[in-house]
């Protein structure tokens, strides 16, 4: 029997997401798939799983090589660039996919780069295209006005996400130096 739970987790709350998935597994609900703010679970016996996430953009052979590093871990699913892993808790240092703070900070660095690259078209539209369209006398500005207002909402959200993820990156980078 599959159940669906709606939960809102973001990158900067990934520890809460891990905790939630681990609690669900101990309650007998094992993660099977994820969609935007939806988590699907299969009823099972109670299992003390440890969940870990990693962010990568890989295809083909590179993905096979990447996954070979996680022989002790079960790949639960891939959602976008996110890889969800789990394994039965052993209460040792091997209960994490990250061997050190540097590898975890590198994950946040990849994520920041991805968010900045995907956000670049928004900033281009807002800073270059919209001002040049406003100076023309065509009907296009009316068409673009809707998108302009959408961007006025999306850009602050995007900037907030970059800020929060950068904080996480800096936190783990600082631990490397200590």
Tokens of 165: 């993820």
Lowest mean pLDDT of 19-28, 73-82, 118-127, 139-148, name the range. Answer: 139-148
Domain definitions of the chain by residue range: 2-95, 101-177
Give the per-residue pLDDT at 113: 92
Q: What predicted TM-score, i.e. pTM, was given to this entire model?
A: 0.84
Q: What is the DSSP string of the chain?
A: -EEEEE----GGGHHHHHHHHHHHHHTTEEEEEEETTEEEEEE-----EEEEEEE----HHHHHHHHHTTTTSEEEEEETTEEEEEEE--SSGGGSS-SSHHHHHHHHHHHHHHHHHHHHHHHHIIIIIHHHHHTS-SSHHHHHHHHHHHHHHHHHHHHHHHHHHHHHHHHHHHHHH-
- Residue pLDDT, tens place only, 55-82: 998 777 788 888 888 888 999 999 989 9
pLDDT tens by residue, 29-63: 999 999 999 999 999 999 999 999 999 987 777 88
């Amino acid at each position: 029997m599959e159940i669906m739970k709606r939960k809102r987790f973001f990158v900067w709350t990934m520890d809460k997401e891990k905790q939630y998935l681990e609690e669900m597994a101990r309650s007998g609900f094992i993660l099977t798939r994820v969609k935007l703010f939806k988590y699907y679970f299969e009823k099972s016996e109670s299992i003390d799983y440890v969940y870990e996430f990693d962010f990568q953009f890989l295809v083909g052979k590179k993905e096979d090589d990447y996954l070979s590093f996680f022989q002790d871990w079960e790949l639960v699913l891939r959602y976008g660039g996110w890889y969800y892993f789990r394994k039965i808790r052993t209460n040792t240092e091997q209960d994490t996919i990250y061997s050190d703070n540097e590898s975890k900070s590198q994950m946040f660095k990849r994520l920041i780069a991805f968010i900045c690259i995907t956000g670049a078209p928004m900033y281009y539209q807002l800073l270059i295209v919209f001002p040049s369209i406003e100076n023309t006398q065509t009907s296009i500005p009316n068409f673009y006005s809707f998108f302009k207002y959408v961007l006025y909402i999306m850009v602050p959200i995007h900037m907030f996400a970059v800020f929060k993820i950068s904080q996480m990156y800096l936190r783990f980078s600082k631990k490397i130096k200590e």
